[in-house]
Chain A
Amino acid sequence: MEKFNTLTGIAAPMPLINIDTDMIIPKQFLKTIKRSGLGVNLFDEMRYDDDRNEIPTFVLNQDAYRDAQIIIAGHNFGCGSSREHAPWAIADFGITCVIAPSFADIFHSNCFKNGILPIALPQEQIDVLMKDAEKGANARMTVDIEEQTVTTSDGEVFKFEVDAFKKHCLMQGLDDIGLTMEKAASIDTFEAAAQTQRPWV
């Protein structure tokens, strides 16, 4: 996994609540057996019409936001299915940070496995960031994971919370499985005890 460093980039405003995983990546694109290549289908049904032409009103089709690296959105972002294709599509498009008042649980956890930082901030601060994002390509936000801050193009700074372990893994680009395998002895011990206590499992 790529290391997450300080990010300065364009933020796309998506002032919609409950952006679900079917919107992020519709089911017809789940039939892949690879992790890559889904960026072109990110938000597919909102992005293209029936003839596969871009819908000009959709934010990521506007010139100012084609290179967006951040999304600012309404609450409960990523609700719905557990499909990791959602963060795969987001990352493949080039977005590595989503900022919203709240996130669905499984999506939130999936982001960290794919080098994406989900940031939850209070609605009032989201309102400020949304306005900033609406200014377009000249307004670049900065996300500093080390300091846990988001800075608007006007220099306004908001502090955010992130789980210390997840932050560490994201910054170092660490593979969870490798880390867990270092604890194999604990798993072995647990498994042996469980086998005695609950042999039917």
Chain B
Amino acid sequence: MSPKTLYDKIWDAHLAHEADDGTCLLYIDRHLVHEVTSPQAFEGLRMTGRKVRAPEKTIAVPDHNVPTTLDRADATTMTEDSRIQVNALDTNAKEFGIHYYPVSDVRQGIVHIVGPEQGWTLPGMTVVCGDSHTATHGAFGSLAHGIGTSEVEHVLATQTLIQKKSKNMKVEITGKLALGVTAKDITMAVIGKTGTAGGTGFVIEYCGEAIRELSMEGRMTVCNMAIEGGARAGLIAPDEKTFEYCMGRPHAPKGAQWEAALTWWKTLFSDEDAHWDEILVIKAEDIAPLVTWGTSPEDVLPITSLVPSADSFTGGKVEAAQRALDYMGLKAGQPLSEVEIDTVFIGSCTNGRIEDLRAAAEILKGKKVKDGIRAMIVPGSGLVRAQAEEEGLADIFKDAGFEWRLAGCSMCLAMNPDQLAPGERCAATSNRNFEGRQGRGGRTHLMSPGMAAAAAITGKLTDVREMM
């Protein structure tokens, strides 16, 4: 048999039909659904009299719109249109009989955190969701990517997706990470190298010592931002850490089925002489704690750098960089470590897991948020929140002056009450620094949880290594 990549193996195991022109029907094992990109899809089913083909493989949770303040049970904290959207999900979940975690359920949270936490996401699966950060689930060695609403409807109706195969890209991170450098810095460093379009048309497999050393939480952070590099999906081959994470989760297999699953999962790796269309190698030791300076996730620099000038770029990027500098209110040559911030946001499907909160707590322990800085920590799920409380992290955050919120997407995309005001500058652990992403006119700097915590203490972008 010809050698295969991990992507090839998962693809082959899910190919339900292939037409002569190479158009394929890929069978979908898990379909995750949230309130923003699904109402039109369910409506489409209703209008055509179609059913959900595999409701037992379909899991819904509201996350984008839900307020994260402690008073969210009070309906007035939500705008009318947000409430309509969440109510529509409630109705659709009941009517079509799919698994559902309502806002009132302690397991509710960001769909990409709930899926793995509940054991819905397992190695070798195909996972889709009407959300580009579905790439997160690739950390388990499952082929996971975002889809549009028409495709959501297609998967609901047929449990398949019309696809053409992507190309294979290997991203190897060799060696060990230095102190203060995290999974977030790895994934940002990769985007800094490839650009936001470098991964278009590819499925990326991340490998190498630095990736193997990461926890499952860290691996999810890496895969989460594969889409920011343009790749539909990011993958990491499952190993003992993966199996250990999955074991005992509510929807993971048990007993003989667990053993059978494990046997197959252990075959899920790229064969040694598999073909790669593109290979990128980065030395872990060359990665420093990073921040973004512009309005594209590719605008990354080490925290020790100066803000670049637009003419240091070429082609269309010159104009884009100038536009970004103007939008961000930055001047070329200004040290990034002197940029003052107004707000700190720790959370999101990128960095809203327990390990992220531990990293922030490590920096915040016994410290105070600088006067005048608005700082919030939004756990990725109700269970992450409960665990952080049990571990005493919540007390550290509250003592430091952080708001300790309920689970949701929160300020990552500002579809809920958590938003930046025009001109407000935010140190954020989320995934996109686009214009207006966190609120019209808001200025976003992406970074790791430790870096965001450090920024909360000093009131400016800060090298986390100075606090370790």
Query: In the complex the two chains form, is A82's CB within 8 Å of B162's CB?
Result: no
Within B134-164, which residues are at the interface with A (CB < 8 Å)?
Answer: 134, 145-151, 153-154, 157-160, 162, 164
B316 to chain A, nearest CB (A): 4
Closest to A180 in B: B158
Is B21 an interface residue when CB atoms closer than 8 A count as contact? yes
- A177-B157, A187-B27, A198-B264 given as contacts; is B21 within 8 A of A165 (CB)? yes
Within A73-107, which residues are at the interface with B (CB < 8 Å)?
Answer: 74-76, 79-84, 87, 102-106
A160 to B25, CA, bound (A): 26
Query: In the complex the two chains form, is A18's CB within 8 Å of B320's CB?
Result: yes
Please indicate the chain A residues that have their CB under 8 angstroms from the CB of B13 in the complex. 198
- Over the window 38-81 of chain A, the binary record of Cβ atoms lying under 8 Å from chain B Cβ atoms (1 yes, 0 no) is 00000001000010000000000000000000000011100111
- A80-B434, A110-B148 given as contacts; is B440 within 8 A of A26 (CB)? yes
Is B218 an interface residue when CB atoms closer than 8 A count as contact? no
Please indicate the chain A residues that have their CB under 8 angstroms from the CB of B279 in the complex. none
Closest to A46 in B: B435
- A109-B148, A187-B25 given as contacts; is B197 within 8 A of A165 (CB)? no
A181 to B125, CA, bound (A): 22
Query: In the complex the two chains form, is A83's CB within 8 Å of B37's CB?
Result: yes
A181 to B316, CA, bound (A): 44
Q: Please tell me which one of the listed residues A79, A177, A191, A199 contacts residue B153 in the complex, with CB atoms under 8 A apart.
A: A177
Is A136 an interface residue when CB atoms closer than 8 A count as contact? no
Closest to B27 in A: A190
Q: Please tell me which one of the listed residues A76, A84, A102, A199 contacts residue B150 in the complex, with CB atoms under 8 A apart.
A: A84
- A106-B146, A177-B157 given as contacts; is B36 within 8 A of A80 (CB)? no
Please indicate the chain B residues that have their CB under 8 angstroms from the CB of A32 in the complex. 81
A109 to B14, CA, bound (A): 20
B4 to chain A, nearest CB (A): 17
Please indicate the chain B residues that have their CB under 8 angstroms from the CB of A198 in the complex. 13, 124, 261, 264
Closest to B125 in A: A201
- A30-B36, A109-B148, A187-B27 given as contacts; is B196 within 8 A of A22 (CB)? no
- A105-B201, A180-B160 given as contacts; is B415 within 8 A of A199 (CB)? no
- A30-B415, A187-B27, A191-B159 given as contacts; is B40 within 8 A of A45 (CB)? no
Q: Give the number of chain A interface residues (Cβ < 8 Å).
A: 56
Please indicate the chain B residues that have their CB under 8 angstroms from the CB of A187 in the complex. 16-17, 25, 27, 158-160
- Over the window 130-142 of chain A, the binary record of Cβ atoms lying under 8 Å from chain B Cβ atoms (1 yes, 0 no) is 0000000000000
A105 to B130, CA, bound (A): 14
- Over the window 226-256 of chain B, the binary record of Cβ atoms lying under 8 Å from chain A Cβ atoms (1 yes, 0 no) is 0100111000000000000000000011000
Query: In the complex the two chains form, is A31's CB within 8 Å of B415's CB?
Result: yes
Within A187-201, which residues are at the interface with B (CB < 8 Å)?
Answer: 187, 190-191, 194, 197-201
A161 to chain B, nearest CB (A): 13
B164 to chain A, nearest CB (A): 7
Q: Please tell me which one of the listed residues A31, A76, A180 contacts residue B196 in the complex, with CB atoms under 8 A apart.
A: A76
Q: Please tell me which one of the listed residues A27, A80, A177, A200 contacts residue B122 in the complex, with CB atoms under 8 A apart.
A: A200
Query: In the complex the two chains form, is B81's CB within 8 Å of A110's CB?
Result: no
Please indicate the chain A residues that have their CB under 8 angstroms from the CB of B158 in the complex. 177, 180-181, 184, 187
Q: Please tell me which one of the listed residues B150, B201, B413 contacts residue A176 in the complex, with CB atoms under 8 A apart.
A: B150
Q: Please tell me which one of the listed residues B149, B200, B437 contacts residue A84 in the complex, with CB atoms under 8 A apart.
A: B149
Q: Which of A50, A79, A163, A190 has the most CB of B within 10 A?
A: A79
Query: In the complex the two chains form, is A45's CB within 8 Å of B150's CB?
Result: no
Query: In the complex the two chains form, is A76's CB within 8 Å of B434's CB?
Result: no
A157 to chain B, nearest CB (A): 25
Please indicate the chain A residues that have their CB under 8 angstroms from the CB of B146 in the complex. 81-82, 106
Please indicate the chain A residues that have their CB under 8 angstroms from the CB of B64 in the complex. 30
B135 to chain A, nearest CB (A): 10
What 3 pairs between A and B have smallest CB-CB spacing? A200-B253, A113-B150, A82-B146
Q: Could you list some 24 contacts between A and B, CB below 8 A?
A: A16-B319, A18-B197, A22-B436, A27-B415, A30-B64, A31-B36, A31-B65, A31-B79, A31-B82, A33-B40, A33-B88, A76-B200, A102-B197, A105-B230, A106-B132, A163-B23, A163-B164, A177-B50, A177-B154, A177-B158, A180-B162, A186-B16, A191-B159, A198-B264
Other than the known A79-B197, A165-B23, A180-B154, what 6 A-B pairs have Cβ atoms closer than 8 Å? A16-B319, A76-B200, A106-B146, A113-B148, A177-B158, A201-B29
Q: Which residues of A contact B (CB under 8 A)?
A: 15-18, 20, 22-23, 26-28, 30-35, 45, 50, 74-76, 79-84, 87, 102-106, 109-110, 113-114, 163-165, 176-177, 180-181, 183-184, 186-187, 190-191, 194, 197-201
